[in-house]
Structure 1
């Protein structure tokens, strides 16, 4: 049997829209890999890789892939003496909506399939050639 469908839908709906602001102790991080039972290795915009815990409300409800984004509360587990550096408090569901938020880190630039960043894609749509030093 699984969790009730209404709980699954409510949890998934929470992840779709970004909050108006993020508190100082909350940071957006990229999921690197699953590191164990409800533990994930994540990378902050500062390139620091840490281990975080997935709380019970997301377990068996939301699945995360490598490269997806989460919001980590870095102060949640300060009272414990262990290797965990925080707790996942939200999962970025609609990445497009979250990227438009003012608090989205500049370090997490969307990469296209060709390896070009957003600004290079805009240049190609306008008709400009991306700058490269190879021609010189």
Structure 2
């Protein structure tokens, strides 16, 4: 029997608004690769790669794709002996609102898509190459 719809909607609504502050053991990470069975490879702000597990309340509710951001808690799985480095406790859904928060890492600043084409020679712009000119 599936979970009640009210539980699904409550889980989704929790991810829309960012928290006021992150805990000491929590950090924002970028998903680099899905490892299968609710496991993901993530990149922490310092460039460290970690293997994290999706919290059970998000399973079959929220899908995470490569390049999205999550909040990883490293203290939840510290007492277990395994290769997992942490657990995904929140998923960044409204990235614009999350980027405004003071705890957003400087390493994950959005890069500009505007590329300046100032190094092209203006005399060659719009002209045909010498081989294809009509004789």
Which residue is equivalent to 1:44?
44
Structure 1: gaps of 5 or more residues? 117-129
Superposition CA RMSD, Å: 1.8
Deviation at 1:2, TM superposition (A): 3.6
Deviation at 1:3, TM superposition (A): 2.8
Deviation at 1:4, TM superposition (A): 2.1
Which residue is equivalent to 1:98?
98
Deviation readout 1:99-134 (Å, 9 max, x if unpaired): 0000000000113444x6xxxxxxxxxxxxx7x8x6
Number of residues of Structure 1 aligned to a counterpart in Structure 2: 119
Partner Cα separation in structure 2 for residue 3 and residue 41 of structure 1: 27
Secondary structure at the residue paired with 2:40? strand
Partner Cα separation in structure 1 for residue 108 and residue 78 of structure 2: 26
Deviation at 1:81, TM superposition (A): 0.9
TM-score (norm 2): 0.81
Larger Rg over CA atoms: 2
Structure 2: gaps of 5 or more residues? 121-135
TM-score (norm 1): 0.81
Alignment of 1:116-127 (within 5 A): none
Alignment of 1:1-136 (within 5 A): 2-114=2-114
Q: Which runs of 4+ in 1 moved over 3 A?
A: none
Deviation readout 1:49-99 (Å, 9 max, x if unpaired): 110001110000000010000000011111011100000100011101000
